[in-house]
């Protein structure tokens, strides 16, 4: 049948099972929006307050479901406003298709009104991108974009469509999407045998889990693997929930703000089994001293990550779920009770601590965990609150902790929270933000109230840029250069002005009642929590130091 390019786009979205997109209209995408209007009962469109909010919402939708998130923006500034969200998704391997409009083909390259080379701009931060100038190629391009976004190591794909293509007509025939197969052709039998032998020879194995295990949905296989190897488990920021934080063998996060136990255990182990992690600098500290006494076995779907940051002794390339299944078949039951007991003793000796006499970020997070019984999706911005959320909430399932790990995007969490709640309407979804982060994209509260999306926004309001101030305190002799937010902004009034219910908490005794009421109301809620300016995230590894040089506040005083 003959359809316009805009109608072809909508039909292709329906082919791919897209039920929700996040976007903001403009001149170059008017035809697309007209087509969406006619199909609003089939595809829900969420109008965000800013295009960046749309990209983060699509990201949160994707991370919480494993499906491809979709965002839409007009040409020029509309497209460039998506870039930070696209880069965020790229760094954390999030499947996303970003659709942008552009000027008509005759106007390309002529500095036309609201023209920008968005394909060129996003080339370094997309898995692939396209510009469509021929309506006959639109459908196949969109189908390929979705396939690329979700295949292997996922990532964002940009499809830029000129306005004349959205108006032109072409023949459209529905196509059922092909099943996306997991990457298995790179899994070699000899690699599996070598891995099993390395595990057999180890007396102090340590399992290190990254975001790849979440993306691959390998929790069941990972649990079996941990049981067979009989080893303690640590994780990255992105790996939270792949292995339950409630399991006694779980030692917490590794790296700059990882637990003392994880950092010391990785330093002491004789085999580090790395599953879907890329050895970020925030994890390894001083590369030359990282797990220096251990052999390193790395499992990852992306061959580019092997030996990129840390030289491995052996590696297996392939889908994490499938690799673990096949490795598990080759393993016998191991027993490392003495090693595990040593690690458990360290857990008891070096627990995470905070001041329990006053209102603090960790206290609030523990209360959220207690009240929700851990059955919630937590999104965060970036900074101290993000680290506290990683440390003090025990993630029991994958896809329940959504945060900007690789890019560290302040302003990410609120949009992601909206996207996650839209995708998971029956879940409690909470965004945790510092006051510095919240003010970056707090206009998305208006999006939540417009559609009555019942998110809970907690602001850890310490009136400073907390993480930067922490570094200034420890490494810059307390020179607080432009990190004090001593203005008159009232988040309660702002939230109320945007239509949300708002609370201000100043003491511990208020936390439980407010949280319970916020959950019960089932409407958009903002909670402004006044905490101290000099609260810090402990423990910490100084930049450039080895991870076993991790120190706490008590160590610093000594």
Closest by Cα among 410, 411, 387, 409 to 401: 387
Q: What angle do CA 302, 275, 543 make, to 5 degrees?
A: 90
Closest by Cα among 219, 319, 327, 220 to 273: 327
Q: What's the rounded Cα separation, in Å, for the pair 89 and 318?
A: 21
Strand partners, 45: 21
State the virtual CA torsion across 23, 152, 144, 89 in degrees, nearest 10. 20
Q: What's the rounded Cα separation, in Å, for the pair 84 and 102?
A: 19
Three state DSSP letters for 249-305: CEEEECCCCCCHHHHHHHHHCCEEEEECCCCCHHHHECHHHCCCCCEEEEEECCHHH
Three state DSSP letters for 443-510: HHHHHHHHCCCCCEEEEEECCECHHHHHHHHHHCCCCCCCCECCCCCCHHHHHHHCCCEEEEECCHHH
To which H or E segment does residue 128 belong? strand 128-132
Known catalytic residues are 51, 113-114, 163, 467
Q: What's the rounded Cα separation, in Å, for the pair 298 and 311?
A: 10
Query: How far, in whole angstroms, is CA 27 from its chain's centroid?
Result: 32
Closest by Cα among 334, 304, 343 to 93: 304
Q: What's the rounded Cα separation, in Å, for the pair 111 and 528?
A: 45
Given phi > 0 = left and psi -120 to 50 = alpha, else beta, which region is 452?
left
């Amino acid at each position: 049948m003959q359809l316009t390019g805009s109608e072809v786009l909508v039909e292709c979205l329906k082919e791919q099972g897209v039920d929700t997109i996040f976007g903001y209209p403009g001149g170059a995408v008017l035809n697309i929006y007209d087509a969406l209007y006619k199909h609003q009962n089939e595809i829900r469109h969420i109008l965000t307050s800013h295009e960046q909010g749309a990209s983060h919402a699509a990201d949160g939708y994707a991370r919480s479901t494993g499906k491809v998130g979709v965002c839409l923006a007009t040409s020029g500034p509309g497209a460039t406003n998506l870039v930070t969200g696209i880069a965020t998704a790229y760094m954390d391997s999030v499947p996303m298709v970003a659709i942008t409009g552009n000027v008509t083909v005759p106007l390309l390259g002529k500095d036309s009104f609201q023209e920008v080379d968005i394909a060129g701009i996003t080339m370094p931060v997309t898995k692939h991108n396209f510009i469509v100038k021929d309506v006959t190629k639109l459908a196949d391009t969109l189908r390929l974009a979705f396939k690329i976004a979700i295949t292997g190591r996922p990532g964002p794909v940009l499809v830029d469509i000129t306005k004349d293509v959205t108006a032109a007509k072409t023949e459209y025939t529905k196509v059922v999407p092909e099943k996306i197969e997991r990457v298995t052709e790179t899994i070699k039998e000899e690699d599996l045998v070598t891995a099993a032998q390395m595990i057999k020879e180890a007396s102090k194995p340590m399992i290190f889990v990254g975001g790849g295990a979440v993306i691959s949905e390998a929790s069941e296989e990972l649990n079996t693997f941990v049981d067979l190897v009989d080893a303690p488990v640590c994780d990255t920021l992105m790996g939270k929930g792949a292995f339950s934080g409630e399991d006694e063998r779980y030692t917490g996060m590794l790296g700059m703000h990882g637990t003392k136990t994880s950092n010391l255990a990785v330093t002491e182990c004789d085999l580090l089994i790395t599953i879907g992690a890329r050895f970020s600098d925030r994890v390894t500290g001083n590369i030359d001293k990282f797990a220096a006494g251990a052999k390193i076995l790395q499992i990852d779907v992306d061959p580019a990550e092997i030996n990129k940051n840390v030289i491995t002794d052996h590696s297996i390339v392939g889908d994490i779920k499938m690799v673990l299944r096949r490795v598990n078949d080759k393993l016998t039951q191991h027993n490392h009770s003495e090693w595990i007991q040593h690690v458990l003793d360290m857990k008891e000796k070096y627990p995470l601590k905070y001041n329990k006499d006053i209102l603090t970020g960790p206290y609030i997070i523990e209360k959220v965990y207690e009240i929700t019984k851990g059955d919630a999706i937590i999104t965060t911005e970036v900074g101290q609150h993000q680290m506290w959320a990683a440390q003090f909430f025990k993630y029991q399932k994958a896809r329940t902790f959504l945060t900007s790990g690789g890019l560290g995007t302040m302003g990410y969490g609120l949009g992601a929270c909206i996207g996650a709640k839209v995708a998971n309407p029956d879940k409690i979804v909470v965004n945790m933000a510092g006051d510095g982060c919240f003010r970056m994209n707090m206009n998305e509260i208006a999006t939540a109230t417009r559609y009555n999306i019942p998110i809970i926004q907690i602001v850890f309001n310490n009136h400073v840029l907390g993480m930067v101030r922490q570094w200034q305190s420890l490494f810059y002799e307390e020179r607080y250069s432009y990190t004090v937010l001593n203005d008159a902004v009232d988040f309660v009034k702002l939230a109320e002005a945007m239509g949300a219910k708002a609370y201000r908490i100043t003491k511990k005794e208020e936390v439980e009642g407010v949280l319970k009421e916020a959950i019960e109301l089932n409407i958009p809620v903002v909670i402004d929590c006044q905490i101290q300016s000099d609260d810090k995230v402990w423990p910490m590894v100084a930049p450039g130091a080895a991870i076993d040089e991790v120190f706490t506040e008590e160590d610093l005083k000594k």
